[in-house]
Amino acid sequence: NAGVTQTPKFRILKIGQSMTLQCTQDMNHNYMYWYRQDPGMGLKLIYYSVGAGITDKGEVPNGYNVSRSTTEDFPLRLELAAPSQTSVYFCASSNSGKAYEQYFGPGTRLTVT
């Protein structure tokens, strides 16, 4: 199993550009999450999904959108990038039976200038 994979690993965006961060898991987990990690701060939940077709906002959803058309994929969309979105983004997944045991991807480091 590859676990949770994220692409790209690094990206530099200009203000106002758009991009999609990809996340795929091969563990057949129904729960998936997107977090951002700012320097000196803990992770903050952006969006989460409890299954295909179901998504909901987390603690910091503004400026982002998500979709969940399949169990495996949970892409995160930035429509109009802003410097405040410079961060490291982590995708995670978990099984509903052990929702606390989240498996994390390696992260995407995004810089908006």
Partner 1 sequence: AQSVTQLGSHVSVSEGALVLLRCNYSSSVPPYLFWYVQYPNQGLQLLLKYTSAATLVKGINGFEAEFKKSETSFHLTKPSAHMSDAAEYFCAVSLQYNNNDMRFGAGTRLTVKP
Which residue ranges make up the site for partner 1 (CB under 8 A)?
4, 31, 33, 40-45, 48, 50, 56, 58-59, 90, 92, 94, 96, 99-107
Q: Which is nearer to partner 1, 18 or 111 (CB)?
A: 111
Write down the least CB distance from residue 17 to partner 1, Å.
25
Write down the least CB distance from residue 94 to partner 1, Å.
7
The residue ranges of DSSP E strands in 1-113, in sequence order, are 4-7, 10-13, 19-25, 31-37, 43-51, 54-57, 64-66, 76-78, 87-95, 98-104, 108-112
d(CA 56, CA 74): 12
Q: Which is nearer to partner 1, 80 or 98 (CB)?
A: 98
Q: Which is nearer to partner 1, 14 or 62 (CB)?
A: 62
What CA–CA distances, in Å, run from 28 to 8, 15, 70, 72, 89? Answer: 22, 36, 10, 7, 21
Q: Which is nearer to partner 1, 69 or 98 (CB)?
A: 98
Write down the least CB distance from residue 20 to partner 1, Å.
19
What token pair was written down for 1?
């199993």
